[in-house]
Structure 1
Amino acid sequence: MAVYKVHVTTGDMCLAGTSDHVFVTLVGTDGESERTELDNYGLDFCCNQTSTYTVNTHALGRLLLIRLEKAQFLYLPENEWFCSKIVVETPEEEAVLFPCHRWLTRGEVLELRGAKAMKASDDDHPLLIEHRAKELAERTQLHQWKVYAEGAAHITHFEFSKLPSEVRFSFSKGLEFKFSKEFAIAELRMKGLFGSEESWASLESIKSTLTFQTSPTAEYVSEHWKDDAFYGYQFLNGVHPSVIRSCPRLPSNFPVTEEMAQPFLEAGTSLQQEIQKGNIFLCDYKSVEGLPTRVVEGKALPLTAALCLLYLDTAGRLKPIAIQLGQEPSEKCPIFVPSDAELDWLLVKMFVKNTDSVIHQIISHLMKTHLVAEVFAVATMRHFPAVHPLYKLLTPHFRYTLQINTAARNTLLGPTGLLTKSTLGMEGIIELLRRHLAETTYSSLCLPDNVAERGLQNIPNFYYRDDGLKLWTAINSFVRAMLGLYYPTDDEVSGDAELQRWIQDIFTKGFLGNSRSGMPESFITVEEVVKFVTMVIFTTSVQHAAVNSGQFDYYCWFPNSPLQLRKAPPTTKGLVTMETILETLPNIGDTVAFIISSLVLYKKYTDSVVLGSYPEERFGEPAANLIIENFQKELSSIEERITTRNKGLEVPYCYLKPSEIENSVSI
């Protein structure tokens, strides 16, 4: 008889009790063991605990699979059981890791492969080949696509309550998420703010919403939001650094003259000279032109397809110098400049930020991180078995993505959702998604290409770019080293049918087969895969942090980034009063509802996994684990450089510190 020691580690999300019978069968090249019960008596399957069991059997040869089963004891209620991993010590004293990270339910039979990453061409035993084919068939059947809306990316077919258990929130995260929201609502309701339909009495009265929660940056925003230099700063280093671009020539529909611009430029220069020097920048919101908006009290809410011209002075300050609240200049759509009446200038800046906030939430945040991540996640679940190296590498970057997105469609995009309560209703949101997906390019998702295309390589004090490029380079080096273990030649790439089906699914379901996007339809070289996987990891971690983590900081003082404005934009100069501004801002109830949403997104949750952490031990190869360690060291070095830089900044840019970036879109 041969003795195998079976070490079972449970997760931190579940407790299996005396109602559970769990059985294990070891399968090797020389046969399989008898079905052996793991005798727990309700004591050994506690959370985050490793328990050891013995399986006595004949020598099994090379271990191929572990078969797990869970059965009911008498008629007691079901207890789901989460198994993190199993390590089997063989009679030859070899320790073989079998990653699991799955829930096991009554009557389920689960077969696990060893931790060594294997492409289909690497499988060398009929049982492994059969297991791979069976797993892929089950995955393709389980994870299916659903049309969300014509012209928009496809989504998972699962409804929120029907998601497979392994992609659900941990128990702790679910409680914290709910508690943080309910606590904020309760406090604001006690103050008579939550649900109020009254307008704000003054800008000063809005500060009462900051008393239940604040941050150093949020306080700075509330004090400096009127300053033109800080206004311009936010287009680079606020929560939405994705629109601004260099302006090599003025658009024909934005006729800013030398006479208009001269007072706001430094002495001895001209607008044309500053354009030639690369010191003029543009934010153009043409994509919202003509969108249907929500109708409130019989009137459609305003949303301006604004144009905002900015100037970079010799001190490195970026300031707005001209704003047009529409795409076509006219007597009713004048160009506003900083020398106009103070309240005129303040209100037109608010209208620009209103449009910018809508684009930020619907496109840069929802579409280009959450929905794109969902496409990557569903394609990965459908086309890679758990043993595939890309499944092992990418799955940690999709943690909770499907649950977050299905929840978001209920709570944010439902009939009473926060986004549908903003300026755009559901019809406008869908149309905006269509427009932007049709124009989305592969290069726009790759930060180095994106920065170059927008002409932002040399603008100073652009911390999102500086930190993001460091992280892109680190991720790219990490991915190249990892994939080098499994794809030593281009032939390995072109010959991996699972990989080719994966990228084809992403191209057709996520980008609707739009060849103009530049999105790859297939992979020929290793370098193509390296760049694409770098983009996937960067998007689901770094880019999401950049457009998500600062929401409370910049949205808490709501006049700075209003998601909704109620009155039409000014068409004649000199008529704006403070009463106009207060009537234009959302009412008290809508304001605090938006702030609560940003607070929930701002909170750090106890089960967060930061960028570069792979606690699930999916890789069994020492070389892969060494590459992960080197990646973590590089991230630590980047962290130190950012921390040192931030000590000299009036407003520290912390959103891309590796310790602040989650490994995935998980909130």
Structure 2
Amino acid sequence: MEHRGVCSSLQDCLNVLSKLAAGHEVQTSNSSNPCIIRGKIIIQQSHGESAPGKSASIQLYSRTQVDPSTRKGKLSGKAHLKNGKSGWYDGTRITTYEIKFFVEADFGIPGAFVIKNQHKHKFFLQSATLEIPDAQTIHFDCNSWVYPVDKTKIDRLFFPNTSYLPNKTPNALVKLREEELISLRGDGTGEREEWDRIYDYDFYNDLGNPDKGSQHERPVLGGSKTYPYPRRGRTGRPPSHNDPLTESRPEKIKLDIYVPPDERFSPKKLSEFIENTIQATVHFLIPEAKSLSQENTSHFESFDEMLNLFTSKRNQVVEGWLKEKLKTMVPDELLKKITRASKENPTKFPLPQVLAENELAWKDDEEFGRQMLAGINPGVIKRLKEFPPKSANGDMSSIKESDIANNLDGLTFSQAMNQWRIFILDYHDYLMPFLNKINKNGVCAYASRTLLFLRNDASLKPVAIELSLPSSSSIEENNRVFLPSTEGTEAALWQLAKAHVAVNDSGYHQLISHWLKTHAIVEPFIIATRRQLSVMHPIHWLLNPHFKDTMHTNALARSLLINSGGILEKTLFTGEISMELSSALYNHWRFDEQSLPKDLLKRGLALTDSEKPSGVQLLFEDYPYGADGLDIWDAIKTWVKDFCSLFYTNDDSVNSDNEIQAWWSEIKEVGHGDKPNETWYQMTTCSDLIEVLTTLIWTASALHAAVNFGQYGYAGYPPNHPTMCRKFIPEEGTQEFAEFLRDPDKFYLKMLPERFEMTLSVALIEVLSRHISDEVYLGQQPSLEWTDNEQIREKFKQFGENLKEVEKKIVERNRDPKLKNRWGPAKIPYKLLYPDTSNVGFRGGITGRGIPNSISI
């Protein structure tokens, strides 16, 4: 390369002059001294799709030279995509184009480009690279769908991997920055088309389908005190015929529900997601069809029969009536593939971790307690601060001191309370108002309280379970207290009681810990970020990896999982009121309590300790989720603090950042607008900004990983974490009690969901628990050129080193025999918060480890 302002080679200049002499158009002005900027454009292709080729053209905007007529950067002539070279990279077909821009000598340094797609199809633009004559290289991580211009009516604009606060933006890019944000906000009207790159808010008014009948009516979530909820991305579909407040739904379930193009899965990810869905559905269909062909009952008859889900192959074809059932749950484009796959590749469910070492470990009381600290829902258990437990309305629990006094390993009850050794898993208050709605159509659910004792070895021993039902008199509750036992009838009843607690836990886990507190909570932050923070804003850049694919994942959930008649309604005991119940819990949600240290303090699992980086000290060391989580939290916060210090020198620099202030106001007042009086950070200091960003990144990465990717390992075996009960615990003297006494195991299995519901649930969590191979993990970036700022690179490198130190700590903890909760009777090492920084190759599959940057499944 030559010096700036001079052609890169004599031959290039001669080529330009030759074209001019021949009367050909060249991409330059009338300058006598044209220069060449070379570029490389990389496009991902789906199977069967053609690359855009010369139907796509690109123009550059200068970052350093302003065009007085437009007040934007100077605009180059066009360069077309020609002679692309296609190949395969890491399982993805890509086409690479080498292009040249002939620009005048004083064009300056490129600061953006626009691409016009005149091809008939959309294409996925992965990245672009420009090389200018002074040997400077400018990188663009695009990762976006580019739609035909006859659809969008505007060209697509991209900025490079360079960050500026608003008041530091180069003059040539100021207007482009402003116009881009305005275009992304839209005007809030009209139905969104696939190609619309517009971000706006709406209520959850698309879960019901009243046009299919009253059984599919669901309340609108959001916009009212009765049903508060975070906002979702607006699609703008017209209202349904039977309810003007409910958005209409497509006649058939589809995978292409609207999300803005930048939020859509890449071709590779979409293909892999579809394949995983097919595989899991086949796992579900084959045993279901087999059971029908053998005319079995609707329930599993023995634990051995249930184990056959994981231990034997099947070759039965899918029955026609079963395909009819699937039509209400699976998009048409998948149904044929599923049917074909069920014949061509019959297979079995993978073996869940909870069965791998000890098939009976799930029955153990110690394992039951351990999973509250290291299972898939470890953020609910709390220290009991007063006895007896009582409801928010003042109603007292029926558990007495005498029930547990002899089961405290030699301590008196007062000693156990004073030493903070009594804990509670409390699913009473949130369920009690809903039980009358839930307990119909064969569902039998209690509201539960479980008391546990912290032993000297830090294992949790359950000491009492209270199961409650509303009384018909509506004055007193109908409570039953069960105590642990190891022999006879009492031991069998105790197992039934633990199953009902596990059902409560399953519902809370899926609807609150998983869906509400990660997926739903984060979506308004994504929308506000796209609308109010330019892609050039450093905080947009910081957060962007943690938003990857979340809106598309959530849109699929609204279409397939959480909608009326969707998979969660069919498999969870909460049924058709599932989302209504999550709205009730959102009433108690606070963003600041999404912070792990504050959550631990609130639940009494930690104490304030100013000497610790996180500001807290765990109540006891052997709390795997808490110990590993605090290390991850500290690493994230250090990275966020280091990053912010490069752009914000003092509190005034945060206050004066108009984009950040607009972003935060919109999150509080619109995105989470049903909670305007909540205790939000004020966003007036650097400390506020750091705490908000740390909490958001923690939620999208580590918290989601902790509650999602261990699902199959624990709940893949339904008796360990059932989602529904079909029977109450029988009362002495009844016919059901006699049936229970004749065969407690058979009664237990009949109490669990029916075969169809159970295998469908296993298929669902098999999909949810799989890592997708294109995920980017915490401490990693999708490309080598993700930023042009060397200081940021150094800070991020240190973030990666800190995460490697966390990995070492986790390995050491898992090797420490004194930390019993790291493995438990089931012999499952706790790795759900293991960052997995060294695994840079293929990371797909059910691994039970690794922290993806975002909520991408």
TM-score scaled by length of structure 2? 0.73
Q: Give the aligned residue type for 2:748.
A: I
Which runs of 5 or more structure 2 residues have no equivalent in the other structure? 1-32, 68-73, 187-197, 205-220, 223-227, 238-255, 312-347, 391-395, 606-617, 817-822, 837-849
How far does the alpha carbon of each residue in 1:496-517 deviate from its partner, in whole angstroms, 9 at most, with x for none?
A: 1211121122212343353553
- Cα 1:221–1:179 shift into 2, 3 Å: farther
Q: What's the Cα RMSD here?
A: 2.6
Residue 841 (structure 2) aligns with: none
Contact kept? 1:168, 1:403, Cα under 8 Å: yes
Matched, 1:236 2:313: no
SS in 1 for 2:756: helix
- Cα 1:312–1:570 shift into 2, 3 Å: farther
Q: How does 1:368-447 map to 2 (within 5 A)?
A: 368-424=517-573, 427-447=576-596
Residue 362 (structure 1) aligns with: 511
Contact kept? 1:193, 1:589, Cα under 8 Å: no
Q: How does 1:275-314 map to 2 (within 5 A)?
A: 275-285=417-427, 286-291=429-434, 299=441, 301-314=443-456
Residue 144 (structure 1) aligns with: 200
- From 69, 94, 106, the equivalent of 1:60 is 106
1:216: how far off? Answer: 3.3
Residue 537 (structure 1) aligns with: 697
SS in 1 for 2:493: helix
Residue 638 (structure 1) aligns with: 806
Residue 548 (structure 1) aligns with: 708
How far does the alpha carbon of each residue in 1:233-262 deviate from its partner, in whole angstroms, 9 at most, with x for none?
A: 010100001210001221242243332113
Contact kept? 1:247, 1:281, Cα under 8 Å: yes
How far does the alpha carbon of each residue in 1:123-153 deviate from its partner, in whole angstroms, 9 at most, with x for none?
A: 241x422111111111111101011113111
1:186: how far off? Answer: 2.6
Deviates more, 1:453-462 or 1:656-665: 453-462
Contact kept? 1:474, 1:634, Cα under 8 Å: yes
Whole-angstrom CA distance in 1 between matches of 2:453 and 2:641: 40
Residue 525 (structure 1) aligns with: 685
Whole-angstrom CA distance in 2 between matches of 1:241 and 1:78: 50
Matched, 1:586 2:763: no
Whole-angstrom CA distance in 1 between matches of 2:621 and 2:714: 21
Higher relative contact order (CA 8 A, sep 6+): 1
Which runs of 5 or more structure 1 residues have no equivalent in the other structure? none
Residue 111 (structure 1) aligns with: 157
Contact kept? 2:164, 2:538, Cα under 8 Å: yes
- Cα 1:571–1:582 shift into 2, 3 Å: same
Q: Give the aligned residue type for 1:57.
A: V
Residue 253 (structure 2) aligns with: none
Deviates more, 1:285-294 or 1:338-347: 285-294
- Cα 1:295–1:472 shift into 2, 3 Å: closer
Contact kept? 1:64, 1:113, Cα under 8 Å: no
Q: Give the aligned residue type for 1:338.
A: P
- From 65, 73, 77, the equivalent of 1:35 is 77
Contact kept? 1:17, 1:43, Cα under 8 Å: no
Q: Give the aligned residue type for 1:200.
A: F
Residue 336 (structure 1) aligns with: 482
Whole-angstrom CA distance in 2 between matches of 1:611 and 1:195: 43
Whole-angstrom CA distance in 2 between matches of 1:223 and 1:182: 31
- From 387, 391, 397, the equivalent of 1:254 is 397
Q: How does 1:606-625 map to 2 (within 5 A)?
A: 606-616=773-783, 617-625=785-793
Contact kept? 1:9, 1:48, Cα under 8 Å: no
Residue 39 (structure 2) aligns with: 7
- From 252, 269, 280, the equivalent of 1:173 is 269
Q: Give the aligned residue type for 2:425.
A: C
Residue 610 (structure 2) aligns with: none
1:101: how far off? Answer: 2.7
- From 282, 285, 307, the equivalent of 1:189 is 285
Identity of aligned residues (%): 25
- Cα 1:192–1:299 shift into 2, 3 Å: closer
Residue 658 (structure 2) aligns with: 497
Q: Give the aligned residue type for 1:178.
A: I
- Cα 1:350–1:164 shift into 2, 3 Å: same
Whole-angstrom CA distance in 1 between matches of 2:438 and 2:585: 23
Contact kept? 1:541, 1:611, Cα under 8 Å: yes
Whole-angstrom CA distance in 2 between matches of 1:276 and 1:63: 69
How far does the alpha carbon of each residue in 1:90-122 deviate from its partner, in whole angstroms, 9 at most, with x for none?
A: 233322334433222222412333332112111
1:654: how far off? Answer: 0.7
Whole-angstrom CA distance in 2 between matches of 1:129 and 1:232: 57
Matched, 1:514 2:675: yes
Whole-angstrom CA distance in 2 between matches of 1:326 and 1:450: 27
Contact kept? 1:10, 1:49, Cα under 8 Å: yes
- From 637, 644, 647, the equivalent of 2:815 is 647
1:317: how far off? Answer: 1.7
Deviates more, 1:555-564 or 1:422-431: 422-431
SS in 2 for 1:87: strand
Residue 348 (structure 1) aligns with: 497
How far does the alpha carbon of each residue in 1:160-189 deviate from its partner, in whole angstroms, 9 at most, with x for none?
A: 532233211122222222222322333443
Whole-angstrom CA distance in 1 between matches of 2:646 and 2:598: 27
Whole-angstrom CA distance in 1 between matches of 2:183 and 2:99: 30
Q: Give 1 or 2 for the bigger CA radius of gyration.
A: 2
Whole-angstrom CA distance in 1 between matches of 2:146 and 2:771: 29
Q: Give the aligned residue type for 1:551.
A: Q
Residue 769 (structure 2) aligns with: 602
- From 48, 69, 87, the equivalent of 2:129 is 87
Whole-angstrom CA distance in 1 between matches of 2:290 and 2:692: 45
Residue 217 (structure 2) aligns with: none
Contact kept? 1:139, 1:382, Cα under 8 Å: yes
Whole-angstrom CA distance in 2 between matches of 1:101 and 1:567: 50
Q: Give the aligned residue type for 1:622.
A: E
Whole-angstrom CA distance in 2 between matches of 1:303 and 1:89: 65
Deviates more, 1:228-237 or 1:647-656: 647-656
- Cα 1:629–1:51 shift into 2, 3 Å: farther
- Cα 1:448–1:19 shift into 2, 3 Å: same
Q: Give the aligned residue type for 2:714.
A: Y
- Cα 1:629–1:359 shift into 2, 3 Å: same
Whole-angstrom CA distance in 2 between matches of 1:156 and 1:45: 36
- Cα 1:163–1:248 shift into 2, 3 Å: closer
1:263: how far off? Answer: 2.8
Whole-angstrom CA distance in 1 between matches of 2:683 and 2:358: 46
How far does the alpha carbon of each residue in 1:405-442 deviate from its partner, in whole angstroms, 9 at most, with x for none?
A: 00011111123322111345565223212221111123
Whole-angstrom CA distance in 1 between matches of 2:626 and 2:709: 16
